[in-house]
Amino acid sequence: MLWPATAFLTGDALAFHANLDRAVANCRRHAGDWELGVTLMLRTHVAIDIAGGLPTVDEDLAELREIARRVGDRWTRAQVASAAGEIGLSRGRYDWARAEYEECLRLAREVGAHIEAPFAIARIAETAYCTGDVDGAERLIAEAEAEADRYGVVDVRAFNRLLSAAIGIHRGDFDRARAAYDDARERAAELLVPPQMTAGLDNLEAVLAAHKDGPEAGLTLIGPALAAAVEAHCAERVLAGLAETAARLLADADRPAEAVRVLAAATAWRAGHPRPAPEQAAVDGLPARARALLGPAGYAREEAAGATLGPADLAAALTRS
């Protein structure tokens, strides 16, 4: 069970995934339900977070639910619900994700897993934000902070500040967004944060730079941020979020053809899964603006070209431009 940790600690992402598969196989041969469940949970969480991993999770999640039923361990059931919630977020099924995180929270509180509770509340806040309920998200962030204070859980605060910064940008309150971003970045520097957290911070930094110094200032940051996220094997929804920011900045910089290509690439990477409501609102006007400048034929040509762009190619193009 512990062998994959060696690859994780050395930063060898590909070896980590291969070792996880070996660990699952070993647990099937030599271990019981609890050990297999823990290892499958780790593989599921990892798959959700990496490029190409989301389509592989359903079989593991179904087995995890059956194991949790057999074992009857509420902590295990809480972890399975958390994994299901993350899958729901990744697929844009925000109501389902919220229900799963609420089940995780209920079970965590039942067994006294006080470290888990603030994280579950923070993810419920994220589901609210993704549906466009930013007021509800703010209330839940405050609840997560209170829970974290009560039990001394400091790790969740970086994520709470990141989400608060995103809400500030959505509301147009850039002073508040900058303060929350700075706090999130400072806290993240003290932790071993996952690559998707770093990508989220980089995305916010580009938006804040664009607001302060113009879209080109944001574009100088977003290309390297996307390249770093690609190098870290971040999931497609993370890569798409960065690309959508680039598309907005390109449109604001009067580069409509590039904006259309980049937005089309991001849409293709999402593979039919909807954007969070605030992110959808941010790009809603872009197609009409670009079509008016490029004409229907020009728009269709750029959209078709963008739909074939892979993340690495787009990161390289944005970094060069």
Neighbours of 194 (CB within 10 A): 16
Separation of alpha carbons 164 and 183, rounded Å: 10
> 131, 277 in Cβ contact below 8 A?
yes
CB count within 10 Å of CB 135 equals 10
| pLDDT, tens digit (0-9, with 9 covering 90-100), for 234-256 | 999 999 999 999 999 999 999 99
What is the spatial distance between Cα 275 and Cα 281, in angstroms, rounded to a whole number? 9
Give the integer Cα–Cα distance in Å for 232 and 253: 28
Query: Per-residue pLDDT averaged across 45-63, rounded?
Result: 92
Residues 6+ apart with CB under 8 A from 65: 80
- Confidence band of 7 (pLDDT split at 50, 70, 90): confident
Q: Is the pLDDT of residue 138 over 70?
A: yes
Q: Are 136 and 142 in contact (CB under 8 A)?
A: no
pLDDT score of 281: 95
Residue 43 predicted with pLDDT over 80: yes
**Per-residue model confidence (pLDDT) at position 5:** 78
Question: Which residues are CB-contacts of 71 (< 8 A; sequence separation ≥ 6)?
Answer: 33, 34, 37
Structure confidence by residue, pLDDT tens digits, 157-189: 999 999 999 999 999 999 999 999 999 999 999
Task: For residues 10 and 171, give the distance between their C-alpha atoms in angstroms, rounded to a whole number.
Answer: 40
Query: What average pLDDT is seen over the chain?
Result: 94
At residue 318, does pLDDT exceed 90?
A: yes
Whose CA is closest to 58, among 13, 103, 93?
Answer: 93
The pLDDT value given to residue 8:
74
**73 versus 292: which is more confidently predicted?**
292
Hey, is 310 helix, strand or coil? coil
CA 163 – CA 125 distance, rounded (Å): 8
Distance of CA 176 to the CA centre of its chain: 22
Residue 1 has pLDDT above 80, yes or no: no
* pLDDT for the residue numbered 169: 97
Residue 13 has pLDDT above 70, yes or no: no
Assess whether pLDDT exceeds 80 at residue 213.
Answer: yes
pLDDT more than 90, % of the chain:
85
* DSSP label of 191: S
- Percent of the chain past pLDDT 70, that is, above it, reads 99
At 58, the amino acid letter reads: D
42-46, 85-89, 104-108, 167-171: segment of lowest average pLDDT: 42-46
Q: Which of 137, 219, 216, 140 is nearest to 171 (CA)?
A: 137
- 3 pLDDT more than 90: no
Q: Rounded to the nearest 10 degrees, what angle do helices 13-30 and 3-10 cross at?
A: 170
Q: What is the DSSP letter of 218?
A: H
How confident is the model over 98-107, as pLDDT tens digits?
A: 999 999 999 9
Alpha-helical regions (H) of 153-232: 156-171, 174-189, 195-213, 215-231
What confidence tens digit (pLDDT) does each residue in 266-306 have?
A: 999 999 999 999 999 999 999 999 999 999 999 999 999 99
